[in-house]
Amino acid sequence: MSALARAPLQLMNTHLNMKGANESAKRKRASTDPIEKVRRLVHRYHEKAIPHRAPTKKEPSFDISKTWDSDPSWTSWTHPGTHLKYSLSLMSARRLSSDDFNTCYHLIEETSRADYEASTTGWKSVKKIAEMKSPELRYILVKNEEGVVRGFTSLMPTYEEGEPVVYCYEIHLASELQRTGLGRLLMSFLESVASHTPPIKKIMLTCFLSNKGALRFYESAGFTKDPISPVPKKLRYGREFIPDYAIMSKIVDSSKAVLGPAPS
Ligand SMILES: CC(C)(COP(=O)(O)OP(=O)(O)OC[C@H]1O[C@@H](n2cnc3c(N)ncnc32)[C@H](O)[C@@H]1OP(=O)(O)O)[C@@H](O)C(=O)NCCC(=O)NCCS
Cα(168) to centroid(ligand 1), Å: 15
For ligand 1, what atom is nearest to the CA of residue 153? 3
Is 89 strand, coil or helix? strand
Q: Are strands 202-208 and 149-160 parallel, antiparallel or unpaired?
A: unpaired
Could you tell me the distance, in angstroms and rounded to a whole number, from the CA of residue 220 to the centre of ligand 1? Answer: 9
Q: Whose CA is nearest to atom 26 of ligand 1?
A: 216
User: For residue 202, is pLDDT > 60?
Assistant: yes
Residue 80 binned pLDDT confidence (cut-offs 50, 70, 90): very high
Secondary structure of residue 69 in the 3-state scheme:
helix
Q: Which residues pair with 88 in a beta bridge?
A: 142
In 161-244, beta strands by DSSP E = 163-173, 202-208, 224-225, 233-234, 240-241
pLDDT tens track for 217-261: 999 999 999 999 999 999 999 999 999 999 999 999 766 544 433
For the chain, which domains are there? 64-256 (3.40.630.30)
Dist. CA 183 → ligand 1 center (Å):
6
- Checking if the pLDDT of 53 tops 50, the result is no
| C-alpha 39, offset from chain centre | 17
Contact (Cβ atoms closer than 8 angstroms) between residue 197 and residue 191: no
CA of residue 213 to ligand 1 center, whole Å? 6
- pTM of the predicted model, to two decimals? 0.81
Separation of first and last alpha carbons in the chain: 34
